[in-house]
Structure 1
């Protein structure tokens, strides 16, 4: 796939090349190719079929994970989150050392220490990475799901976008079985505070523990607001909000 740069904006097909718009600008790709029927049946395309099968599986696993925290994801994501998460799922799938090529599975890969480490630390909004925004020590109890920050001063411990007057912290604990696609997401309380030097302790406690326990993920959401005449408005359509996977067990 190539990117087109020129003084004329072309869309459509010309001399076997298709020009089309994307969020990355005007792109070009060759028209046509090998028929679907040949790819499906020709032994020469066995590797292609294997790659396609695993690609589909990775996409399904990524979609499943996004679905589990959709209320949070609506508040903090970038437009590449699907492709970035699919790439991580592919890496996790590669850790399946027992299945045949073309049949490797995320549920097996995520059962490894390395598989969990690949998912831990994922930022759903790459434009607002947790480590660049949140600057305070914290504790997370993986048994209770309780997230705690002591001696927290928002003015010093958060890197806030221009125009921010308030912020909120909230969390979630997800229990998921990637093999059966069953999951249970439990959300915490939300703590809202002004951006100032007030010293405080913030505790986020999930409403309950997930009933699904195969794999557990712990999320933190940071939202930014601007207060006008006593009303807090999401800052710049939530584009600076953080959604981060703190831990995977």
Structure 2
């Protein structure tokens, strides 16, 4: 099987599937802190499939030699780590994502955040927290420096969070790295001083930008 020409296609498929699995594992490690209480049990398989789609978009290398970094990494945008709740369905606030290449700083800006009108939750939670992270990833060297940032736990009933910004430094970025930005939301029940997390199926985390 390792040398027989009849198994050449099998060897090619195995090699490419292995690269897709490695890319899946690397991104989940990079986003590990954000994935807590937000990922479903099938996320690894779903992300491997997305990585394989990216690998298949590699138009430079031949079949069997195709690689994730040579593919269209923008295919990652919109990937939700929780299949039960997508970020797009619970967070309706318009936001922008910018990269300051001089300062190597990524910013997610929500100019006028009216939480009660711009967040939907089936859990009945009255408080929430936003989490953002940016990873400078090299899929083959397997490096992914990342520093997540979070808001405080915010009251969903408040009318306005003016110019809410999440600023994240892009750590140890190199020209051959890819910059992957994630944004997530986590919900809580708060009564007086007691704060309890809701079932994680109501939380969300997604890849929102790839530079």
Q: SS of the counterpart of 1:90? A: helix
TM-score by length of 1: 0.77
Match of 2:10 among 41, 48, 56: 48
Give, in whole Å, the separation in 1 of the partners of 2:60 and 2:182. 30
User: Residue in 1 aligned with 2:196?
Assistant: 233
Q: 1:132-186, CA deviations, whole angstroms, 9 ceiling, x for partnerless residues?
A: 1111111221223111212211111001123301001121111111121122112
Residues 1:247 and 2:204 are matched in the alignment: no
Q: Which moved further from structure 2: 178-187 or 54-63?
A: 178-187
Give, in whole Å, the separation in 2 of the partners of 1:240 and 1:217. 23
- Superposed CA RMSD in Å reads 1.5
Match of 1:216 among 174, 179, 185: 179
Higher Rg of the two aligned structures: 1
Q: 1:229 deviation in Å?
A: 4.2
User: Residue in 1 aligned with 2:160?
Assistant: 199
Q: 1:41 deviation in Å?
A: 3.9
Residues 1:57 and 2:57 are matched in the alignment: no
Mapping 1:176-187, distance limit 5 Å? 176-187=137-148
Q: 1:205 deviation in Å?
A: 1.6
Contact kept? 2:123, 2:202, Cα under 8 Å = no
Q: 1:180-222, CA deviations, whole angstroms, 9 ceiling, x for partnerless residues?
A: 112211222423211214211222122x322124210111110
Give, in whole Å, the separation in 2 of the partners of 1:61 and 1:193. 34
Contact kept? 2:136, 2:146, Cα under 8 Å = yes
Contact kept? 2:80, 2:205, Cα under 8 Å = yes
Mapping 1:1-249, distance limit 5 Å? 39-109=1-71, 115-143=72-100, 144-201=105-162, 202-206=164-168, 208-213=169-174, 214-236=177-199, 238-249=200-211
TM-score by length of 2: 0.90
User: Residue in 2 aligned with 1:4?
Assistant: none
